[in-house]
Amino acid sequence: MIIDAYSHFGVKKDMPEVMEDRSFLDAIPDVGIEDCAKKWNEVLDKQGVEKVIFLGVQHGSKVFMDYVNGSDRFIGATTCNPLRDDYYDVFMHDIEKGAKGLALYPVWHGFDVAHERMNKLYKYCSDNGLPVVFHFGVSAILGDLRYGNPIDLSPIVKKYPELKVIIAHFGAGYFKEALMLMYKNKNVYFDTSGTNNWLDYTPYSYDLKEVFRNSLKAVGSKRIIWGSDSYNVFKKDGEGYRKQFLDLQREIVEELCNEEEKRDIFYNNAKRVWRI
């Protein structure tokens, strides 16, 4: 079995605040959370995925936690915009409703991940064993890349050595910087999810296989966590789950890893880090 450690809810009304691209939104059907949950469970069965971790994308979403609490196969990581006055109240509200972690988008919202106002979030997550997922670098959402470098987390991972930090999409263009952050900071993990099309915008001639190879060499299999970055499982082309990324990454991992390392990447690490 597989644990998908990075996907999104995918209901239209859960996304409007962060999506500027109307064509993206228009492709998502306007369905209720029960129909969405039913479809997701069907897709998970088909793909052999045991559980999926959904990352919230909207500050103060009214439906996100209701959705993720609707199935024992769903795990929710809430989100908040730290620039808003109610950011900690929003975070704690969802924690009390059962959120198992936190997703933060510094480029989307334009905030410094090392600002002192962030400490309340980090301390709570560190003290309670909750992972924090950061989406740095390039994104489908327009944002401010001045806040896109994972190196900015350097003082945080030192200050909170028990805080479980996950850098999404291999750093999404900041692969080198993410690896440098991971040097001697054993509490930092990679997630492999998404198109990884940031590779098209780097001056280096490596491909996704080399990204995996370099990551395995630098930090080992126990700090790499697989995810699909799926969101629209109703997509008509049949690839709504983004099975193509699962197939590609499974092929790469089959070539580069032994059986234990494969289990780490696709199952064991997510199970341990998210306390599933």
User: Can you tell me the distance from the alpha carbon of 256 to that of 258, in angstroms, rounded to the nearest whole number?
Assistant: 7
| Mean pLDDT rounded to a whole number for the chain | 92
Residue 239 binned pLDDT confidence (cut-offs 50, 70, 90): low
pLDDT of 237 strictly over 60? no
Q: Which domains does the chain have, with CATH numbers?
A: 2-273 (3.20.20.140)
For residue range 184-197, list pLDDT tens digits in order: 999 999 999 989 99
Percentage above 70 pLDDT, the chain: 95
